A and B are shown apart, each in its own frame.
Chain A
Amino acid sequence: MKSSESADNEGLLVRRIKNGTVIDHIDGGEALNVVKILGITGTTQEALSIATNVQSRDMGKKDIVKLTNRELSKEEVDRIALISPRATINIIRNYKVFEKKGVEIPTLIEGLVRCPNPGCISNTHEPIQSKFKVMPNGLRCTYCDWVITKDVTSHII
């Protein structure tokens, strides 16, 4: 009985979408940050499904984000690699996986993260976006050289 309920719930969690993007294999608990990185807010028109802490054979627990009627660009999905490098992206067309790809850590991140240095020129009213180089030890602000070594998500704009 229990297993049947579980299967039903599982069915709801993984229900297919007709068109859009499924981001799978997100590290457990990071789905909301992925949504934040993608700039999806309460005013977004597309239907959005989020499943968190789903059992995964490979990962233990994983999160899934489904976005209907929107296909994410490579630049958008690569940003996800900052917090969840194992994530996979499935572009869905007419219920079928049209394209499946992993995420690649980009070399430069623009307009995504706010520099924590209050003295940085990127935190003023200048007409620029923040810019960070992705380094082995974290993200380095290209303006002031400040390095974010941990908790990148708390600096997302």
Chain B
Amino acid sequence: MHHIISIGDFDRNGIDRLLDHAGQIDRKKYDSNALGGKILAVLFFEPSTRTRLSFESAIARLGGTSLSVGSVEACSMAKGETLADTVRVVSGYADAIVIRHPKEGAARLAAEFSTVPVINAGDGAGQHPSQTLLDLYTIRQSMPIDNIDIALIGDLRYGRTAHSLASALSLYNARLHTISPKGLELPATLSEQLTEKGMEIIEHDSISDIIREVDVLYVTRIQRERFPDSASYFNVASSYRITPELLADAKKHLIVLHPLPRVDEIDPRVDSLPHARYFEQSRNGVPVRMAMLMQVMQ
């Protein structure tokens, strides 16, 4: 049985194969009944718009159906049922489970108790492999992933998407530039792991320092609740904002990615520039997740 829990479960070939398959799907080269008669259980214990809808869209486009419990309050976990029991029960109703949970390692636990494949759709500050795969897919639409210079910007301490992406990029000899507010830097243990894998990581104070060098800006949301008051939040957030003026100095082929939702990190005027790829990135969630579902459900 094949689960997808962490981007670390993939090697370079595995990622490339899945992205190739997503590309074929994107070009409409797929059987729209490939998962006909199959049922996907969507177990989301945290709010989500893009991930949830794109998984539901993905299974529908492959001829399957999805079932979900709605909200946490509406399911048995509100009565104190363990996740282990919930997963055991649900795996009797479906052919695969997509799970999002606030606790790190929840998807790994689910895989231990499930009798059907489990896909991790985000576990706390932990892993979010489907996001990483669609991030890589979006980069690959614009340039080869190998040897890119990528800047990770924003909350790099708690941002699971940045952690997973950085890990995956270590397979592609990418150079990592990090720009984050004090206290929200990339965790030291992750930096050490990446450095051991041979990845070059360079910390910077401001985006303008490296805007001429990088190929990809990966922007993440800085959460207000990390700051003592609104004034200090706005003060920090404004210095990490992507604007058309900042991008005026960028390489022509530079792309701006963001896992969304964005709040103040990207000026809406950037949306119309050729650098902006975050809405396309979000759309790419469907073919990439279709490829993932086919990989575990067929």
Contacts and interface: CB of A to CB of B under 8 A. Distances in A.
Interface of A: 117, 119-122, 124-128, 137, 141-147, 149
A128 B111 CA distance: 13
B104 interface: yes
A121 B103 contact: yes
A139 to B, nearest CB: 12
A127 B80 CA distance: 13
B163 to A, nearest CB: 9
Interface residues of B, number: 20
B64 to A, nearest CB: 28
B102 to A, nearest CB: 8
Contacts of B192: 137
A132 to B, nearest CB: 12
B181 interface: no
Interface in B117-145: 123-127
Interface in B70-92: 82-84
Given A120-B103, A121-B104, A121-B106, A145 B84 contact: no
Q: Which of A127, A145, A149 has the most CB of B within 10 A?
A: A145
Contacts of A119: 102-104, 124-125
A120 B189 CA distance: 16
Given A119-B103, A144-B126, A145-B126, A126 B108 contact: no
Given A128-B112, A145-B105, 11 more contacts: A119-B124, A121-B104, A121-B105, A121-B106, A121-B109, A121-B123, A125-B82, A128-B84, A141-B105, A143-B105, A144-B126
Contact of A142 (B84, B108, B189): B108
Given A117-B104, A121-B104, A144-B104, A126 B109 contact: yes
5 closest Cβ pairs, A-B complex = A143-B105, A144-B104, A121-B105, A144-B105, A121-B103
Contact of A124 (B6, B103, B127): B103
A124 B83 CA distance: 10
Nearest to A127: B84
A99 to B, nearest CB: 35
Contacts of B124: 119, 144
Contacts of B103: 119-121, 124
21 contacts: A119-B104, A119-B124, A119-B125, A120-B103, A120-B105, A121-B104, A121-B106, A121-B108, A124-B103, A125-B82, A126-B83, A127-B84, A128-B84, A128-B109, A142-B105, A142-B108, A143-B104, A144-B124, A145-B104, A146-B104, A146-B189
